[in-house]
Homo-oligomer: A and B are copies of this chain.
């Protein structure tokens, strides 16, 4: 070719293949990336440490009480059982409404729907829905689920809140699931169709299992988001003060949830309530952690199977 014949002696070759082409971009990049990671980790550590520290008195002194008591205006007697119940109920709504609906819509869009102008329009709209501020969902939830449908939901109840948050995370579930489904190689679909499977069989047996880790990631992001939203709950009508009730299973009753409870605690005098605020944050983090761990276990189980 254009290049002169190589005189390949041991020395020449050794020099050549041991040389490192100036990969400055690569090296700089690598350290930039690493520091990005470290910053992120540092945030977690600071966050956890500061909260555990501030809440240590409550967490070590009266954790059982704190978790099982209702809210009281006395900081030393106040607990968060109502918030825990509400948060778990809301999570259940999200998991049982938003996840199936969202994954279903994503499957429909990616596997069934023709790629027409209409589906593109729908796709754009779903992306826009994901960007609607959560307060707006709160306003919507108040108008529709807490007021217009009060006969069903019982007013500003945990059911209204759960449905509102399910609607809030629905677009996120759809988008992340659709992304995961789109990443499934076509050759796998062809293999399935090739042995005479229906579209539904191909979807169920091959597309969904392959996309599952990605779908789980999106789902967990959504559930976690729902667990952490305070503003729409407050707008929908989470009780921010003392109330009786809020028991687990009271779907059509007054409710409280951990994030709004934390928000409320954070407005009470810091000196006496700071410990409760921090302890409630730690409990919420523990719940999020549990949800995540469950999802990661599931994810690993399915990734191994790939």
- Chain A residues within CB distance 8 Å of chain B: 21, 23, 25-26, 29-30, 32-34, 36-37, 39-41, 43-44, 46-47, 50-51, 100-102, 104-105, 107-109, 112, 122, 124-136, 139-140, 143-144, 167, 170-172, 174-176, 179-180, 183, 185, 198-201, 213-214, 217, 220-221, 223-225, 227-231, 235, 258-259, 262-263, 266, 277, 281, 284-285, 288-289, 291-293, 295-296
Contact = CB atoms under 8 A, between A and B. Distances in A.
With a 10 A CB-CB cut-off, give which of A37, A39, A167, A289 has the most chain B CB atoms: A37
A104 B18 CA distance: 28
B135 A259 contact: yes
B105 A43 contact: no
Main secondary structure of the interface of A (DSSP, over half): helix
A34 B108 contact: yes
With a 10 A CB-CB cut-off, give which of A139, A180, A285 has the most chain B CB atoms: A139
B36 A124 contact: no
Contacts of A263: 135, 231, 235
Contacts of A43: 129, 140, 167, 170
Given A133-B230, A135-B230, A179-B214, 7 more contacts: A30-B200, A47-B132, A50-B140, A127-B295, A131-B224, A131-B288, A135-B262
A93 B229 CA distance: 22
Nearest to A23: B198
With a 10 A CB-CB cut-off, give which of A39, A40, A198 has the most chain B CB atoms: A40
**How many copies of this chain?**
2
A289 B124 CA distance: 9
A136 B51 contact: yes
B144 A293 contact: no
Contacts of A25: 200
Nearest to A260: B135
A148 B166 CA distance: 37
B262 A133 contact: yes
B101 A46 contact: no
A104 B230 contact: no
Given A104-B33, A281-B136, A217 B179 contact: yes
Contacts of A47: 129, 132, 136, 140
A108 B33 contact: yes
Given A25-B200, A235-B266, A46 B144 contact: yes
B133 A227 contact: yes
Contacts of A127: 217, 220, 292, 295-296
A255 B296 CA distance: 39
A109 B262 contact: no
Given A180-B179, A231-B230, A235-B266, A33 B107 contact: yes
8 contacts: A37-B122, A40-B171, A44-B125, A44-B129, A46-B144, A47-B132, A124-B293, A131-B223
